[in-house]
Amino acid sequence: MSDDRRLIDKIWAHAFQLRDRGVGLNLDITWQRDQSLEDLDHLPAAEILASEIVGDLNAALEEFAAVAAAPEVPSNASGS
């Protein structure tokens, strides 16, 4: 099994563990609107937006790294 496949299996197993513990995993974010961005004439500067995006992506990568570093999950917990 490739390292990529192991990582994917870990992420899915973690998601199932969260679901089983009652942690909601609703990925529907259409209801979350940033009211400050309604007026397109007053958007933050592109450099600020880019910096915020990079920060968000780095935070997401750190979370994925934490999942990847988590102890192995028994194979029966991943739904296989």
Q: Positive or negative, the Cα torsion across 13, 18, 24, 30?
A: negative
Please write the tens of the pLDDT for every residue from 31-40. Answer: 666 666 566 7
CA angle (66 as vertex; 58, 18 as ends), nearest 5? 110
Locate the domains of the chain by residue range. Answer: 1-19+47-71
Per the CB < 8 A criterion, the answer to whether 1 and 72 are in contact is no
Which of 15, 2, 11 lies closest to 66 in space, CA to CA? 11
Between 31 and 77, the more confident residue is 31
Please write the tens of the pLDDT for every residue from 16-74. Answer: 787 777 766 666 666 666 666 566 777 788 899 899 999 999 999 998 888 888 877 66
pLDDT at residue 34, rounded to an integer: 65
pLDDT at residue 54, rounded to an integer: 93
* DSSP 8-class letter at 79: T
Q: H or E stretch including 55?
A: helix 46-69
